[in-house]
Amino acid sequence: MADKISDDVDESTDGGPSLKRVMGPGLLLLFIVGDILGTGIYALTGDVAAEVGGVVWLPFLVAFVVALITAFSYLELVTKYPKAAGAALYTHKAFGIHFITFIVAFAVMSSGITSASTASRAFAANFANAFEFDLGDGILVTLVALAFMALVAIVNFRGVGESVKANVVLTVIELSGLLIIIFIGLYALGVGDGDFSRVTEFETGDKSLIGGVLAATTLAFFAMVGFEDSVNMAEECKRPTKIFPKVLLTGLIATGVIYVLVSISAIALVPADKLSEGDTPLLQVVQAGAPDFPLEIFAWITMFAVANSALINMLMASRLVYGMSREHVLPAPLGRVHSRRRTPYIAILFTTLLAFGLITFIGEVPALAGTTALLLLCVFTVVNIAALVLRKDTVEHDHFRAPTILPVVGAISCGFLATPFAGRDNEQYVIAGILLIIGVLLWFVTVAVNRRTGQVAGDGDPSNLGGGPVN
């Protein structure tokens, strides 16, 4: 389709230069796959198995379908408004209410922190396996997770040059661990070691079959987040309105297939009751299917995958807080930049303290991952609705248009999965509520200060409020 956006450098709306367009379809595909892969599948396979038993692959499949439907709304919006902004920009264009834009942006920021906190717990568990430490005591796990998060904050403060080429390396390493699981499963199938009859066994405990699958899907959805973050690369892509639809859908389908194959291999080699024990389910799979394989190597691969997820999420969260401060919707000190390191050090401290609180007082991987999914499902519901509202807004260039039924189904399915009817634990609502209350309180403090100084909340460019969590 036609695309009137330059292949190289465009003029921004204020007349200055915009970001350089350097990403072609290959690099964009690796960016998307790398964003989705990570903590979710490495840490949550056992927790999903605890909800449904042998059909552990089914919740991942359902989560993939819901994510795929919502991806069509993102595709329509990113090809229509190819700016590095994401859900905040779409919300602002659709509704024009600064407070709603702020809530969406703060929810995205909060999801990044809960995602990074999930990764820190997974890191601590795999740290024990890599160095053969006994972290059976919950306090020791928490201390390792806190130390890891502090290290992430230090790296974040020093400044990280995010390179697409570096992301290629990270993606290959993350992908290698999952391919090892798949190959072990295929080998077991060939020699008859695995029990593949388990893949059709439902074990939902005191829940109904549908209830168990829904509860598991609310966890499995965490593994699919990250695809929405790719829209923030729109300004750095060559011909984004042309390449985004094919590349994003290819990346989602590829990761969906990988997750289903990994979960099938896992349950064929390790029974559901065993797989759900501890925070390192895939290490159990390697040990059962390939006992001679050095577990330390796989533990390091897992640590690398979740460490990458934590760092990128904390980078996103701190920059999002910084952007909201500069837009006068959060207190001005959060927008301060260190004079020498040129990093938003107050925003980094703020987001790190929130992560410390989650790790210390919540701690458990399912609760943190479930909260991440809850926050993102709410954001996805708004994005699907925004896609429908913005149908009346026309732009000069051709763009992708999703079938009308998909945003409707996406809004309903994401909205439903965010409700208690989907079997979601009440603790997740408490965590999400506390985070959003903190945001709202900061909003009102900022409004009060703005009135005294004559500033207007959100009087700048809402595209500064982009960002999203990755796995």
Annotate 375-389 with DSSP letters as a single string: HHHHHHHHHHHHHHH
Predicted confidence band of residue 391 (pLDDT cuts 50, 70, 90): very high
DSSP string, 69-118: HHHHHHHHHHHHS-STTTHHHHHHHHH--HHHHHHHHHHHHHHHHHHHHH
Mean pLDDT of 189-201: 87
Q: pLDDT above 90 covers what percent of the chain?
A: 38
Mean pLDDT of 285-296: 88
Q: Cα separation of 382 and 375, whole Å?
A: 11
Mean pLDDT of 364-378: 91
pLDDT of the residue at 346: 92
pLDDT of the residue at 27: 76
Does residue 163 surpass a pLDDT of 90?
A: no
Predicted confidence band of residue 316 (pLDDT cuts 50, 70, 90): confident
CATH number, domain containing residue 442: 1.20.1740.10
What is residue 247's three-state secondary structure?
A: helix
Q: Which domain holds residue 354?
A: 40-465
What's the pTM? 0.85
Neighbours of 197 (CB within 10 A): 9
Q: Is residue 23 part of a domain?
A: no
Q: Is residue 3 part of a domain?
A: no
Q: Is residue 26 part of a domain?
A: no
Q: Is residue 22 part of a domain?
A: no
Q: Is residue 180 part of a domain?
A: yes
Contact at 8 Å (CB) between 32 and 251? yes
Q: Cα separation of 215 and 220, whole Å?
A: 9
Q: Please count the structural domains in the chain.
A: 1
pLDDT of the residue at 269: 93
Q: Find the Cα–Cα–Cα–Cα dihedral 130, 295, 364, 185, rounded to 10°.
A: 160
Q: Is residue 162 part of a domain?
A: yes
Give tens-digit pLDDT for 218-231: 999 998 888 887 77
Q: Cα separation of 121 and 387, whole Å?
A: 36
The secondary structure element, H or E, covering residue 450 is: helix 426-453
DSSP string, 289-353: H-TTS-HHHHHHHHHHHHHHHHHHHHHHHHHHHHHHHHTTSS-GGGG---TTT-S-HHHHHHHHH
pLDDT of the residue at 86: 75
Mean pLDDT of 443-455: 83
Q: Is residue 187 part of a domain?
A: yes
Mean pLDDT of 186-210: 87
Q: Residue 373's closest CA among 19, 122, 67, 31?
A: 67
Burial class (CB in 10 A: 0-12, 13-18, 19+), 11: exposed
Lowest mean pLDDT among 63-67, 196-200, 271-275, 361-365: 361-365
Q: What are phi and psi of 194, to 5 degrees?
A: -85, 160
Q: Cα separation of 420 and 427, whole Å?
A: 11
Give tens-digit pLDDT for 407-446: 999 999 999 999 999 988 899 999 999 999 999 998 888 8
How far, in whole angstroms, is CA 320 from its chain's centroid? 15
Predicted confidence band of residue 14 (pLDDT cuts 50, 70, 90): very low
Q: Cα separation of 298 and 283, whole Å?
A: 7
pLDDT of the residue at 236: 62
The per-residue pLDDT of the chain, averaged, comes to: 83
Q: Residue 39's closest CA among 273, 281, 203?
A: 281
Predicted confidence band of residue 387 (pLDDT cuts 50, 70, 90): very high
pLDDT of the residue at 85: 57
**Helices 39-52 and 281-289, packing angle to 10 deg:** 80
Q: Is residue 35 part of a domain?
A: no
Mean pLDDT of 53-73: 95
Give tens-digit pLDDT for 79-104: 888 775 578 889 989 998 888 988 99
pLDDT of the residue at 13: 43
Strand partners, 23: 237
